[in-house]
Structure 1
Amino acid sequence: MWLVLVCAVVAVGAFFIWSNSSTPVNADSKPTAVSSSAVVASSFQNGKQFEALDRSATEEPQVLEFFSFFCPHCYDFENVYHMSDEFKKQLPEGGKLVKYHVDFLGGELGSQLTQAWAVAMTLGVQDKVAPLIFNGIQKTQTIRNLDGIRQAFIEAGVSGEEFDSAWNSFIVKSLTAQQRKLAEDVNLRSVPSVIVNGKYMVKNDGLDAKSVEGFIQEYSQVVKYLLGQK
């Protein structure tokens, strides 16, 4: 319960402060243009917009996003604010966007979803599977067990045999363990969370939350700034 509340606090602090705005926000909303000059990179500070972790930076530029299919704010992060698309725009040549699932929401099913996400990464079907699982968990509540997860993969074009084979493979078990270990190493307690270059965690509650446009713009600019840090 505490962890669920943390997820909610993150969202209230970072996403929904503008909920009293006269303009409703929905999946079809298009952010209005905001001049890049409105965001001054030199004003970004450790402890305010981001936190420097006691870790070595990755050799290549990287944006790592932690999420949970059980977290409604992760759903919005991906499907309403399209933050993954924003991050991709900021990646330099050779950079990559990585998404890891967390175990601390959803009990046993949450743990199975972390392994399922490892299957998706192994088969290269993340973009096809993610909307189906988000919908099955949060909208239709049709994914309640491993069979429901398997069916989502089948709907995404993966055969049942492919899923079963990948589920029990060494690479999937390794990727599952890797997701869990990194979340533990950075003492992750809330989602969505973004770590840039393996060393800098964006502080959602330190960003402009007066408007959807301002939040998206500043988040994107902070990530761009951190991609240039080592």
Structure 2
Amino acid sequence: MRKIIIFIFGMFLSSKIYSCQFIENKDYNVINNKVEYMPKITKFFSFLCPYCYQEEIKFHINDLLQKKMKEKYMINKYHVNFLGNELGKNLTHMWCIAQLLGIENKILLPMFEGVQKYHTINNKEKIKQLFIKVTGIGEKDYDKLWNSFSVKMLMEKEEKSLKDTKIQNIPTMVIKGKYIINNYEIKANSINEFIEKYYSLIKFLIKK
């Protein structure tokens, strides 16, 4: 759990005069070797991370950001393997299936709740059962996708992204495969103010 950044509960504690000028090594860090193949906006998270759960389910940070960005920019969510040993790897595997089918939003809440609220998701078979229940996909189709080359390649790509960016903390947003946003530096008195500042920083880094 040392690899999880605690920022959700502190981001509303204080405010500061907002400026459009953001500071390197404070508001964001720069990756030495830009990861060219990554999407413009990549969010690293885990279903096993309590702060990711708070961000997604309680504060709806990513939904609010995506709504703010509309379709101009899309947040691509990559699940990490460094939490939960085998369970974490199986959750990553499942998430890649959801990505391939384009149903990430359909499975996100049920899987988070199964893992962290109800504690019913604790092995590969339980992951499969919930996925089938929520999405309506057949068991044979799920198994076929689980063993498919396409899912395997997607997993390898996302694992490589994690390795190349050297991300060790979650939740973490990476812009253009080059800039890592320091969430805990975004101070605000409300969710709306936080979203405005977060969005401004994303736009700044995209244009940088």
Q: What's the TM-score bracket when you normalise by the shorter of the two chains?
A: 0.7 to 0.9
Task: Give secondary structure in 2 for the equivalent of 1:5.
Answer: coil
**Letter in structure 1 aligned against 2:2:** L
Among candidates 49, 54, 59, match of residue 81 of structure 1:
59
Percentage of matched positions with identical amino acids: 33
Alignment equivalent of 2:160, drawn from 149, 161, 181: 181
CA change 1:216–1:171 in 2 (3 A) is same
TM-score (normalizing by structure 2): 0.88
> Is it true that 1:40 corresponds to 2:19 in the alignment?
yes
Where in structure 2 are there 5+ consecutive unaligned residues?
Answer: none
User: Are positions 1:15 and 2:8 aligned together?
Assistant: yes
Provide the residue aligned with 1:125 in structure 2. Answer: 103
Question: AA paired with 1:167?
Answer: W
53-62 or 218-227: bigger deviation = 53-62
Residues 85 and 227 of structure 1, relative CA distance in 2, 3 Å threshold: farther
Q: Per-residue deviation at 1:178?
A: 1.2
Structure 2 counterpart of 1:136: 114
Amino acid across the alignment from 2:155: T
What amino acid sits opposite 1:50 in the alignment?
Y
In structure 2, distance between residues paired with 1:39 and 1:165 = 51
1:61–1:68 CA distance, 2 compared to 1 (3 A): closer
Query: SS of 1:176's equivalent?
Result: helix
Contact kept in structure 1, 2:48 and 2:84, CA below 8 Å = yes
Question: Any idea what SS the aligned residue of 1:45 has?
Answer: coil
Kindly indicate whether the alpha-carbon contact (under 8 Å) linking 1:50 and 1:203 is maintained by their aligned counterparts in 2: yes
Aligned to 2:197: 218
The Cα offsets for residues 194-215 of structure 1, whole Å up to 9 and x where unpaired, read as: 0011111101222215554443
Query: How far apart in 1 are the matches of 2:12 and 2:69?
Result: 27
- Aligned to 1:171, the other structure's residue is in SS state helix
Note if contact 2:13-2:189 (Cα within 8 Å) is conserved in structure 1: no
- 1: CA distance, partners of 2:36 / 2:65: 17
Matched position secondary structure for 1:103:
coil
- 1:162 maps onto 2:159 in alignment: no
Q: 2:91 aligns with which of 113, 116, 130?
A: 113
Q: Quick one: distance in 1 between partners of 2:32 and 2:201?
A: 19
- For 1:138, the aligned partner's letter is Q
1:6 aligns to what SS in structure 2? coil
Q: Does 1:104 align with 2:82?
A: yes
Matches within 5 A, 1:42-81: 42=21, 44-56=22-34, 58=36, 62-81=40-59
Determine if contact 1:61/1:227 at 8 Å carries over to the other structure. Answer: no
Specify the alignment match of 2:207 in structure 1: 228
**Once the 2 structures are TM-superposed, how far is the Cα of residue 20 of structure 1 from its aligned partner?**
7.7
1:106: Cα distance to partner?
0.8
Q: Decide whether aligned partners of structure 1 residues 92 and 58 sit closer, same or farther in structure 2, where only a CA change above 3 A counts.
A: farther
